[in-house]
Every structure is written in C-alpha cells, then in structure tokens.
A and B are shown apart, each in its own frame.
Chain A
Amino acid sequence: GAGVSQSPSNKVTEKGKDVELRCDPISGHTALYWYRQSLGQGLEFLIYFQGNSAPDKSGLPSDRFSAERTGGSVSTLTIQRTQQEDSAVYLCASSWDRGSYEQYFGPGTRLTVT
C-alpha cells in the first residue's frame, strides 16, 4: 500500500516568509510524528499527534512553529517568519497506534531559507 507522503519535496523561501509543509500518513495510522533533520542538530522530535490532538509539542523550537491534524489524517506543519536556522529536512512519520512502536517515515521536505 501507499506509504507516508510529504509535500512539497523541496521548498526554497525567503527569510521572513511563512511556509506550510504537508504530511499524508498511512491510511488508518492514528499516531503521527514530525521530526527535523539538520546538520547541526541531527534528528530531533518536534510534535506528536494521537488522532487530532497533540499531547506532546515539547520539541517545537519556538512559537513560530505550529502544527495541526484534521480528520485524524493529514497534518500540516507551519513555520511563520522563517529564519535561516529553520533550514532542514522535515520528516513526518506515522504508526498504527501508540505502543506499536514501528514508525514509518516519509521522504521528507527539504526547506531552504535564503
């Protein structure tokens, strides 16, 4: 079946602009995660959704970052007033439920802030 998909695959934006990154999880997966992969920080957790609620937002680096999930499916990560340090690959993962442990990762969105 279809895996986790993310769009766009690449995004170049100017400093100060807002961006939206989209994640389509595997159908039926209730848990959804956002991570960020950057040269300086490695792979770091951003936010976790169970259904449409986000019980763990502890990894969001600032209040410029927000995310939502609707219909227990698609999720959008929004970065407002982008800064150069936001440049990274943003990864989305989903799993059947919490406790199932295996997370399936999407290909990522490479964000470059100029």
Chain B
Amino acid sequence: GNSVTQMEGPVTLSEEAFLTINCTYTATGYPSLFWYVQYPGEGLQLLLKATKADDKGSNKGFEATYRKETTSFHLEKGSVQVSDSAVYFCALSESDTDKLIFGTGTRLQVFP
C-alpha cells in the first residue's frame, strides 16, 4: 500500500539556520503531496502542496519539490525562526478518495 517515510526528530536548530526535513513516499499512480504543520496547541494546517512531478510548493519561506525520480518531497527553509517551532507532517493523497496518508511527523525546535 501507499506510505510516507519522514526523518525522525526532533530537529534542533538555531535561529536563521537552514532547514531540511526529508520525506520519501511509496505510491501507485501519481499522488498529490503535502506538508502539514501543527503548531503547539493548534490544529493541523496545510503548509504547502504539489500535485504533479517537478511542481514546487511554497509558503511562508518553506519550499518542497515533487521529485518523481527519487519519490521524494523534502521540506526546506533557508532561515528558520523561533516561530517555526512545530511538528511537520509529510503526506500523500490517494487519488480515488483523497484520503491523506501521513508520515510520522518531525518535531522542529528553533532556539534564539
């Protein structure tokens, strides 16, 4: 079946450091790919998405590119802020129902 694998956390960075959170997927067909974020005490929010190969999703300085050849969707940000501290989930959407298959989540902690 379809699955998502993402790097385990926590990821601990200083403010203004470069962030990469790795995500790879296994899927039949051509799923859409997502990054969701869960800030402390808040619900899940869509951060960015990409619906086909080579698409780049971007939002709030975060970027991820849908790489079909490596089945990856790594999340990057050039300069993190303390306010980016949260849990980040990579997910894919199955094409028949749009249900989301999530990775295990990666906690990011950014210190001043």
Contacts and interface: CB of A to CB of B under 8 A. Distances in A.
Interface of A: 31, 33, 35, 42-45, 48, 55-56, 59, 91, 93, 95, 98-108
Contacts of B93: 101
What are the nearest 8 A-B pairs in CB distance?
A43-B102, A105-B44, A107-B43, A56-B97, A45-B99, A42-B104, A98-B98, A105-B43
A62 B55 CA distance: 38
B22 interface: no
B100 A103 contact: yes
Given A44-B102, A45-B99, A91 B44 contact: yes
B46 A43 contact: no
Nearest to B34: A101
Contacts, number: 53
Interface string B78-112: 00000000000100010001111111110000000
Interface string B40-83: 00111110010100000000000000000000000000000000
A101 B32 contact: yes
B99 A33 contact: yes
Interface string B14-57: 00000000000000000010101000001111100101000000
A33 B100 contact: yes
A106 B97 contact: no
A95 B100 contact: no
29 contacts: A33-B99, A35-B100, A35-B102, A42-B103, A42-B105, A43-B105, A44-B102, A45-B100, A48-B97, A59-B99, A91-B43, A93-B44, A93-B100, A98-B97, A98-B98, A99-B98, A101-B32, A101-B49, A101-B93, A101-B98, A102-B46, A102-B49, A103-B100, A104-B46, A105-B36, A105-B45, A107-B42, A107-B43, A108-B43
